Amino acid sequence: MAVSLSVSTVQPLGDRVFVKVSPSEEKTAGGIVLPDTAQEKPQVGEIVAVGPGKRNDDGSRATLDVKVGDKVLYSKYAGTDIRLASEEYVLLSEKDILASVQ
């Protein structure tokens, strides 16, 4: 029962999304700068897989507002980190996504 994990095999459940973490861009001119004193620092990433959405009480699905390819801002303290082939990923609930970046 060896499980081989690669990016394409991870399928989030419910309202979760699978996000590739973007390299930190702190202090880049004109780019995002996360102050050290910020209470909750946002992180930037790109969605590589989305869940089918949470089930409503009547059994239907509440489909997600984000999709594969969206760039998103999310709280650094949310979700579960995974390192896969030396890249960093995170599994997030959609509600932990603060904004999309177009």
Task: Convert residues 79-98 into a mask of x (bound to a copy of itself by CB under 8 A) and - (unbound).
Answer: xxxxxxxx-x--x--xx-xx
Using an 8 Å Cβ cutoff, are 65 and 17 in contact?
no
User: Which one among 32, 47, 67, 68 touches a copy of itself, defined by CB under 8 A?
Assistant: 32
- Least distance (Å) between residue 44 CB and a copy of itself: 5
| Residue 65 contacts a copy of itself per CB under 8 A | yes
Using an 8 Å Cβ cutoff, are 71 and 101 in contact?
yes
| Residue 38 contacts a copy of itself per CB under 8 A | yes
Rounded distance, CA 90 to CA 43, Å? Answer: 11
Check the CA dihedral 30-24-22-75 and report its sign.
Answer: negative
| Residue 68 contacts a copy of itself per CB under 8 A | no
Local structure of 73: helix, strand or coil:
strand
Rounded distance, CA 4 to CA 9, Å? Answer: 8
Which residues lie near a copy of itself (CB under 8 A)? 1-6, 9-14, 16, 18, 20, 22, 25, 30-35, 38-42, 44, 46, 49, 51-52, 55-57, 59-60, 62, 65-66, 71, 73, 75, 77, 79-86, 88, 91, 94-95, 97-102
